[in-house]
Chains A and B, each alone.
Chain A
Amino acid sequence: MTVPMPEPMSQPPMTPFAAAAGAPVPSRPETSVPAVRVRDLSISAGSVPLVHDVSFDVGAGRRVGIIGASGSGKTLTCLAIAGLLPVGLTATGSVRVDGFGPDVLTASERELATMRGRLTGVVFQEPMTALNPTMRIDRQIMEAMRLHGGRAPRALDRAAAETILREVGISDPRRIARSFPHELSGGQRQRVVIAIALANRPRLLICDEPTTALDVTVQATVLQLIDTQTSAAGSALLFISHDLAVVASVCDELLVMWQGTIVERGHVTTVLENPTHPHTRQLLADADVSVRTESARPGPEMP
């Protein structure tokens, strides 16, 4: 890892976007179906429990952040929602994604494939490895559209891919479209990953530590991009981080996970101003000095 430590600051480093978080979010009526409804989700590897009795909703168009140290189960929770849980893990409970008939936890791989990419989009932590090294960028984006949008003339798809690239702030979309991933910087690749995740305007965008692997200088712009693009696509957002300041800058609601359970939840400002669980206070203290809590808790961390 070559990510330099940010300078210690007296306040959370993402202040430019704190305003964006405070801005009114285009929320739909509370009566509408939530983008995802998670009930009593438990995940275990054999007899080892990893996530225990997690329940929460992400309302349509709402933004929920999950924070917690490594091994707190936040990534597994998201993979379960996205229907991407690694083989060998068993999940119980229920995960309902708006627009998808069956329960995500019991659906077949074939059924899940019709949901993934159309109703859910995922931005992973590592942009360096998330793209296929042997395929040009435009084909990787076009593929995401074609998988759910039926067949369209190739030229139209290509134009659409370039438009999407422009939307995610790529300044030279024509050239980038014809490039291979290794010819792009980490920030550019993460923009492409975001473009792919949002290509079909999913109900829910899941971001798993999307800025952790990026240079500090790029982190802020990518975060802003997620902010604006999620709004533009009208997607709900489930945002995972171990960095409270980052989550606070994009989310309305906050879930604090610790050792596989949710220990605290509420509106971002409420939780930040009035943390009740010791672990939340610890995270808050860490965020203030911008210390990464990589090895805070022992526990199994799934990749």
Chain B
Amino acid sequence: MWWQIVRRLLIFLISALVASIVVFVLLTLVGDPARTILGTEATPQGIAEMRHQMGLDRPVITQYLSWANGMLHGDFGTSFVTQLPIGPQIGERLLVTLWLVAGGMVVALVVALPLGTLAALWHRRVAGWILSGLSQLGIAVPAFLAGILLIAAFAVELGWLPSGGYVVPAADPIGFLKHMMLPWASLGLVQGAVLARYVRSAVLDEMEQDYLRTARAKGMTVWRAVIRHGMRNASIPVLTVLGVQMITVLVGAVVVEQVFVIPGIGSFLVDSVARQDRLAVQGIVVTIVVISLAVSFLVDTAYALIDPRLRRR
């Protein structure tokens, strides 16, 4: 058990290392920041001087090591474009996106678990087909479209909620919730619809299991047996999908952030790319990659907690 966790942790660290190298090398290949800063009228001497000043004339390996070393100490460097330190900005923007993603996934779970379970338990009834149809509909709607529709209904038409923007939760908790309601709903409903289908098939699989029949033979109703004995085992495939979804939502949050004008990491990335701010782009991409890897690591570790057969000594 512990050895497995250590092994996964090693895999996580190695993956993070490889990812940081790939990101660094790829971004080093495109463009020259010195030329970007100085513009089209720069002299070759001026560019060379700038490159030296920025440390770009050093070997790539040295550049990588000093960058990576800084990141390990929480120093993401200072942007050549905005002259601002990148680390604190990433932290601030990331926190916003994490709020968005976490809330969205909670909504997704709250939607998917009952919906999927009921669809499975009622799979021979009309009610079950209706639930399946609803989740199919939800899958077909992209999150940004759901967002626009929600804004049209609840912000423009009814005026109950703001159409966009962001409030720091510590400053104004109620305002924060008001602003996040629609983004959470648009992320959560769509992801919940996808997740519900996996919950349904996982629960259906469980209903076929012999031990569910044993549970009924003990004196449980089908429902009780599914909830007591089926849910835990069904959670393994569901967790796999949930992990993938969290990563997808984290990376894809930019779309929802744009629709709702939320200053998250996705919009920071888009802005940085537009500004050709290489150092910021590097830092953001590596941060997103590391978080994605961490999610996979946690999901893998959770398997062993759920299923004792996966705990080898």
Contacts and interface: CB of A to CB of B under 8 A. Distances in A.
Interface stretch (A42-50, A122-130, A277-285): A122-130
Contact of B214 (A88, A109, A113, A130): A130
Contacts of B222: 109
Interface string A76-106: 0000001010011000000000000000000
B215 interface: yes
Given A110-B221, A148-B219, A124 B214 contact: yes
A134 B219 contact: no
Given A132-B229, A180-B308, A147 B216 contact: no
Nearest to B209: A129
Contacts of A226: none
A116 interface: yes
A143 B30 CA distance: 64
B18 interface: no
A117 B219 CA distance: 5
A147 B219 contact: yes
Given A87-B124, A135-B229, A124 B210 contact: yes
B118 to A, nearest CB: 16
Contacts, number: 78
Interface string A132-147: 1111000000011001
Interface in B205-221: 209-211, 213-221
B233 interface: yes
Taking chain B's interface residues, is the majority helix, strand, or loop, or is none over half, making it mixed? helix
A121 B216 CA distance: 10
A292 interface: no
Contacts of A116: 216-220
A131 B214 CA distance: 7
B84 to A, nearest CB: 50
B221 A109 contact: yes
A74 interface: no
Contact of B308 (A124, A134, A147): A134
Interface residues of A, number: 34
Report which residue of B214, B222, B228, B307 has the largest number of chain A beta carbons within 10 angstroms of its beta carbon.
B214
Given A129-B210, A130-B214, A144 B309 contact: no
Contacts of A171: none
A133 B217 contact: no
A193 B124 CA distance: 30
A129 B206 CA distance: 12
A118 B306 contact: no
Interface string B279-306: 0000000000000000000000000001
Contacts of B228: 143
Contacts of A120: 217
A196 B213 contact: no
B7 interface: no
B210 A126 contact: yes
A182 interface: yes
B275 interface: no
B158 to A, nearest CB: 43
B52 interface: no
A117 B309 CA distance: 27
Contacts of B58: none
A177 interface: no
B93 to A, nearest CB: 40
A217 interface: no
A132 B217 contact: no
A173 B1 CA distance: 25
Leading 7 A-B pairs by shortest Cβ distance:
A117-B219, A129-B210, A117-B218, A147-B219, A122-B217, A180-B308, A132-B211
Given A116-B218, A147-B220, 20 more contacts: A84-B216, A110-B221, A113-B221, A113-B224, A116-B216, A116-B217, A117-B217, A122-B214, A124-B214, A129-B210, A130-B210, A131-B211, A131-B214, A134-B233, A134-B307, A135-B229, A143-B228, A180-B308, A182-B308, A196-B218
